[in-house]
Structure 1
Amino acid sequence: MTRLEDPLDVGGVRVPNRLYRAPLLECAGNGPDAVDTLVADLEPAARAGAGLVCQGAAIVREEGGCAAPNMTSVADPSFVADLERLTDAVHAHGSKIAIQLEHGGLRSMETWHAAYRREHPTLQQLAVSRPPFPLRLLDRAGLLSYDAKVLSTAEVYDLAADFGRAAANAVDAGYDLVHLAGANMGIVHQFLSPFYNRRNDEFGDGVRFLEVVHDEIRDRVGDVPLATKVPTETEAPSFVRPRLTRGETVGVCRRLAEIGYDALAPVNGSVVWDMSIIRGAFPARAWRDGQFRDGYVETFGGRTRALLVALGNWIESRWYDFEPAWNAELCRDVRDAVDVPVLAEGGIRQRGQIDRLLGRDCDMVGMARPFYAEPELPARLLADENDESVAPQTRVVCENCNNCTVPQATGAPGICRTPAVLKRAGELRRQHAYDRD
């Protein structure tokens, strides 16, 4: 039986166990305190025993492409070189560290963040093809703002080269793995999606873009382990067509493994960034919180628009209810089709659940939002060497309330904001639940 404590080889790198901190928004930016912020956010997971720590999505260009405020760019080699302090801090605890690379494309802030658009009036979104008709309707309604720059073939190659350069910067700074943000409506997702991609050149086959990115990274840094998220779009409303089916996603994963990707993280989702990827309750506390009210107005361009976004959030919370391990079946299908490690995340909350997933549905399990409340969560889920005492019922304190996510639209840091959850985490800390020898 595969255990959480067992090591795993990913592209020639030995990860000491099969628990990873999945990518989150650290909101560190690129200012003078950025590296300190990242160390404070990520080192606790390594100290608590996570085999792999994934830094959240980092942008491959210096300007444009940020999907949320205060995302970190890794286009400047001098800035990335200072991130060696972060990789050293993680390595000191025996863990490995990955960096997730992204460009937001049509999901970038220049589309949806009203204040950012005013501050950057000349920025255009990068687009795989002309924005789909439903999104153009939202533009006409004034809820989004599209001034899309459809990439030429040469410009697609340039973008792939930016991914390669960013990966080289990261590997020089000591990162062990490179992880592409291949879902959640980023540019990689848009290449893979028939909803977005209607190109008539070689990149009309979205896997081709991932192949070119793979080659760019290999040319610059050799055999660094390379992973990517791979989306389905089965959670989109039934009238949305065309979209990625589960079978098509399995086929994409099979091709990526053949190209040379070393690990895959399949995820169910929609064609847009919505609550299908962060399932749970409507974050009522976050929307009511007075300290963020003016920020929501500034972000969404007025009180009426902020209320409409909140209403949409409420509707989505009813549509996409929380489901434990909601990507498990998709991961199992992919695992049966490829011979590289399959990473599962999304709704994994309990040790017994993890034990059932490993070796059947996936090779490694990741958690994201629970780390906001419990930065040292692995200490409670992992056994000491030769210790069988970790109870299957051990579970995270996260309640899937999503109050951590909405304030990030204003640039607020990703932290747990629910008193009952924080109280429980505090009780566990007083009981030394996060202590490790």
Structure 2
Amino acid sequence: MSILLSPLTLHGVTLRNRLWVSPMCQYSAVDGMPQDWHHVHLAQFATGGAGLVMAEATAVSPEGRISPDDVGLYTDAQRDAWTPIVAAIRARGAVAGVQLAHAGRKASTWAPFAPARGSVPPEAGGWPTVAPSAIAYEGYAAPAALDRAGIDQVVADFAAAARRAVAAGFTVLEIHGAHGYLLHQFLSPLSNRRTDEYGGSLANRARLLLRVLDAVRAAAPDAPLLVRLSATDWMDGGWDLAQTVTVAQWALEHGADMFDISSGGLVRHQQIRTGPGYQVGFAETVRRDTGAPVCAVGLIEDARQAEQVLADGAADAIMAGRQWLRDPHFALRASVSLGDEIDYWPAQYLRARPGWA
């Protein structure tokens, strides 16, 4: 059996393989409510053999949405709308996860396929945004700096969303601390210019993330808890890999089980260098220096490439996004490519399995 298609146990939960679906925003919600699109979109990956199906960045408050078309878990009605979707994922043998998020200064923006760009004005359904400091993301409206009461509310919102996620049936939770969203904004000195206990030193800039971790762990004590981190801002003077390693070590002490290592997203003028597996080295460093399990992401597009990442000891699991969109049966095809026998080919699809008679 390949490493890629071998099981992995995390916080007492066993996932059938290590080829997982990254959270991918669909910008298809109505008032934060997932729709039939989300049901079909996510359940198909479970049919296709994924070990973990992670629902997209799901806002913990209305103002935490990236766009007016984002899903949320800040009402009980949203919890109830997620419940049949989660059940469909689980019925097909995958573990269901959700990424809990707050977009901060990158909230209230138009969806990527909308005709407009930038911040959504109030008359079109937009809202004022918040951040650690009143520094705008280039091309977006200026945010208001959160006061201490606002910070406390963010922590409470993450905890409440975690409780709703568990009630909806989600097994795995991920805290979004990457891609320039609120928790990343607090971490990076490029966006955090505070002079109180939430700014300045690394310990201060990490304080909100660690408080959120404590709150989510208390709200969901039995859930495997992932944290997505951007390993670098790809900018001089910004967040970097050394700080990522240190904060990951602290996060382990606050209840994190695994890290999902990505990069970038904080500033528009980032100097990013892409290529096949371009972020794998970041994951490998975090894994080596903390001893924690990690997911690798970033242009990992075929089974043999994914298997090699795991065989090299760079990661414990693979999160893929675009490749799952291209091929919702990525894991089934991977089993053929790697010569593995798996017992979760859907019976309805066996006639398409190479070598089936």
TM-score, normalised to structure 1, is 0.71
Q: Matched residues in 2 for 1:333 and 1:255: separation?
A: 16
Residues 385-404 of structure 1 show CA distances to partners (whole Å, capped at 9, x for unaligned) of x94489xxxxxxxxxxxxxx
- Counterpart for residue 194 of structure 1: 189
Q: Matched residues in 2 for 1:339 and 1:114: separation?
A: 40
Residues 345-385 of structure 1 show CA distances to partners (whole Å, capped at 9, x for unaligned) of 1110122211111151000001111222222222111359x
Q: Matched residues in 1 for 2:125 and 2:94: separation?
A: 39
- Counterpart for residue 338 of structure 1: 290
1:379 to 1:211, Cα distance in 2 relative to 1, 3 A: same
Q: Aligned-pair distance for 1:232?
A: 2.7
Percent of residue pairs identical: 25
Secondary structure, counterpart of 1:83 in structure 2: helix
Residues 80-139 of structure 1 show CA distances to partners (whole Å, capped at 9, x for unaligned) of 123111111111121101101111111112596355443246x3111111216xx5xx5x
- Counterpart for residue 227 of structure 2: 228
- Counterpart for residue 178 of structure 1: 173
Q: Which runs of 5+ in 2 are unaligned?
A: 111-116, 343-348
- Counterpart for residue 255 of structure 1: 250
Q: Matched residues in 1 for 2:73 and 2:268: separation?
A: 23
- Counterpart for residue 396 of structure 1: none
- Counterpart for residue 8 of structure 1: 8
Q: Aligned-pair distance for 1:158?
A: 1.0
Q: Is the 8 A contact 2:155 2:211 kept in 1?
A: yes
1:321 to 1:196, Cα distance in 2 relative to 1, 3 A: closer
Q: Matched residues in 1 for 2:155 and 2:91: separation?
A: 32
Q: Is the 8 A contact 2:65 2:107 kept in 1?
A: yes
- Counterpart for residue 55 of structure 1: 55
> Which of the pair has more CA radius of gyration?
1
Q: Is the 8 A contact 2:180 2:264 kept in 1?
A: no
Given residue 123 of structure 2, which amino acid in structure 1 is its aligned partner?
Answer: R
Whether 1:347 and 2:275 are equivalent positions in the alignment is no
- Counterpart for residue 367 of structure 1: 320
**Which of 195, 198, 203 is matched with 2:198 structurally?**
203
Given residue 34 of structure 2, which amino acid in structure 1 is its aligned partner?
Answer: A
Q: Is the 8 A contact 1:13 1:225 kept in 2?
A: yes
Whether 1:119 and 2:93 are equivalent positions in the alignment is no
1:168 to 1:323, Cα distance in 2 relative to 1, 3 A: same
Secondary structure, counterpart of 2:328 in structure 1: coil
Given residue 124 of structure 1, which amino acid in structure 2 is its aligned partner?
Answer: P
Q: Aligned-pair distance for 1:233?
A: 2.8
Given residue 12 of structure 2, which amino acid in structure 1 is its aligned partner?
Answer: G
Given residue 352 of structure 2, which amino acid in structure 1 is its aligned partner?
Answer: H
Q: Matched residues in 2 for 1:130 and 1:351: separation?
A: 44
Q: Matched residues in 1 for 2:303 and 2:186: separation?
A: 36
Whether 1:150 and 2:155 are equivalent positions in the alignment is no
Q: Matched residues in 1 for 2:120 and 2:58: separation?
A: 21
- Counterpart for residue 352 of structure 2: 432
Q: Is the 8 A contact 1:49 1:382 kept in 2?
A: no
Q: Matched residues in 1 for 2:157 and 2:356: separation?
A: 40
Q: Is the 8 A contact 2:68 2:125 kept in 1?
A: no
- Counterpart for residue 345 of structure 2: none
Whether 1:377 and 2:330 are equivalent positions in the alignment is yes
- Counterpart for residue 128 of structure 1: 132
Q: How many residues align?
A: 339
Q: Aligned-pair distance for 1:201?
A: 2.6
Q: Is the 8 A contact 2:106 2:140 kept in 1?
A: no
Q: Matched residues in 2 for 1:354 and 1:231: separation?
A: 20
More helix by share: 1
Q: Is the 8 A contact 1:380 1:434 kept in 2?
A: no
Secondary structure, counterpart of 1:227 in structure 2: strand
Given residue 253 of structure 1, which amino acid in structure 2 is its aligned partner?
Answer: A
Q: Is the 8 A contact 1:191 1:207 kept in 2?
A: yes
- Counterpart for residue 79 of structure 2: 80
Q: Aligned-pair distance for 1:234?
A: 4.6
1:321 to 1:212, Cα distance in 2 relative to 1, 3 A: closer
